Amino acid sequence: MASRSRMVFSSEAFTSVRLKLFGKYLPYILITPSIVYMLIFVGYPLIQAVILAFTDSSGHFTLANLDYLLYSPFSRFWDALKYTLLLAGVIIPIQALLAIGLSLLFSLRFWGRSTALYIVILPLVISDVAAGLIWYSMLSSNGFLNKLLINLGVISHPIIFFGAQYRWMEFLAIVLTEVWRATAIVFVIVFAGLQMISSDLIEAAEVFGATALQKLRHIILPLLKPSLQTALLIRTLFALQIFGDVWVLAGRDIPVLAGEAYYEQVELHHAGAAALYALIIAGISLAIGYLYIRLFRAKYLEAGG
């Protein structure tokens, strides 16, 4: 009997030790598939991009591609960097403000709310190239917008949006296209975050006489910080890779980093320069992502960190 008791105790002790070891390594087991995915689909291409950007045909280290981007008269790197950052700096704040405003609007109950919600989200399924073609047909000299304004008597001659001499009008067309197409990405995330805010907090603020602006400033926006952080991270990554609609609406009149990477690879077969463009986009994305994480970290999360 004593031997059987010892066997049962030994079995339970072994099971307890096994569970403790399994619990200790369980987090690493769970994240292993993600790590493998990142190594294969992010790590390997990144290493290859570095090799392409900083080695020559014989495999020796070189800065020739960097010199080409920075100093060659055939390179449009500085213009591409300027317009990429300028587009991101204009488009993203507009989209963030629109997303917050729409989220507050759709938090109210009104007739036709579901239909309006679907209409706002609809551009999310449209590709950037398709969006560029839609807005090109709308903004062209014989497009819908010019015909409407002429018929209403607002203008007597068509507004010209496209052409190398109308670069800032092309810039405006790109902004309009991106705001229409991609605001839904930010809106969906912010709207989901808004639904997570307890109505008890809003009602308590109303009891103490808080105005709508005070509720927005002291309750809604602070609690929306994690959602805004996620939305801005995703949207900034996409904004720095903007290409399709720019290529349709302006071509190389308005160069952007992703567009120049495409041009160097496909048109000039200059893989090293294209890889360097990709690394620069990745580096800017990481830097801006770090700033977002620092700036939009919620205070109630900092207490636990």
Residue 129 included in any domain: yes
CA 239, 242, 81, 265 dihedral sign is positive
Is 139 inside a domain boundary? yes
Say if CB 138 and CB 161 are below 8 A apart.
no
**Left if phi > 0, otherwise alpha if psi is -120 to 50, otherwise beta: which for 209?**
left
- 292 vs 286: CA distance, rounded Å: 10
Query: What span, in angstroms and rounded, lies between the C-alpha atoms of 117 and 123?
Result: 11
Which H or E run includes 295?
A: helix 271-295
Q: Which residues make beta-bridge pairs with 61?
A: 55
User: DSSP states of 100-135 as a string?
Assistant: HHHHHHHTS--TTHHHHHHHHHGGGGS-HHHHHHHH
Q: How many domains does the chain have?
A: 1
**The predicted structure's pLDDT at residue 305:** 46
CA angle 142, 147, 152 (to 5 degrees): 165
Yes or no: say if 260 and 82 are a contact pair by the CB < 8 Å rule: no
CA distances, 218 to each of 225, 296, 301 (Å): 12, 15, 16
**Is it the case that residue 1 has pLDDT exceeding 60?**
no
The H or E element spanning position 15 is helix 2-38
Residue labelled with tokens 């010199």: 67
33 falls within a domain: no
pLDDT band, very low/low/confident/very high, at 11 (cuts 50, 70, 90): low
The one-letter amino acid at 112: G
Least confident of 22-31, 80-89, 126-135, 145-154: 22-31
**Inside any domain, residue 23:** no
Q: Which domain holds residue 119?
A: 78-302
| Mean model confidence pLDDT for the chain | 86
Provide the residue count of the chain.
305
| Alpha-helical regions (H) of 140-198 | 144-151, 167-195
For residue 152, how far is the Cα from the chain centroid? Answer: 38
Please write the tens of the pLDDT for every residue from 37-81.
Answer: 999 998 898 999 999 999 988 888 999 999 999 999 888 999 999
Q: What spatial distance separates the first Cα and last Cα of the chain, rounded to whole Å?
A: 53
| Residue 39 within a domain | no
| Residue pair 258/280 in contact by the 8 Å Cβ criterion | no
The mean pLDDT value for 268-289 works out to 93
Q: Is residue 34 situated within a structural domain?
A: no
CATH number at residue 85: 1.10.3720.10
How does DSSP assign 209-238, residue by residue? T--HHHHIIIIIHHHHHHHHHHHHHHHHHH
| pLDDT at residue 242, as a whole number | 92
* pLDDT, tens digit (0-9, with 9 covering 90-100), for 192-246: 999 888 888 888 888 888 888 888 888 888 888 889 989 999 999 999 999 999 9
Q: Give the mean model confidence (pLDDT) for residues 19-33.
A: 75
User: CA 195, 197, 201, 205 torsion: positive or negative?
Assistant: negative
Confidence band for 9, pLDDT divided at 50, 70 and 90 = very low
- Percent helix, percent strand, percent coil in the chain, to nearest 5: 80, 0, 20
Instruction: State the helix-helix crossing angle for 44-54 and 271-295, rounded to 10 degrees.
Output: 130
In a domain, 14, yes or no: no
17 pLDDT more than 80: no
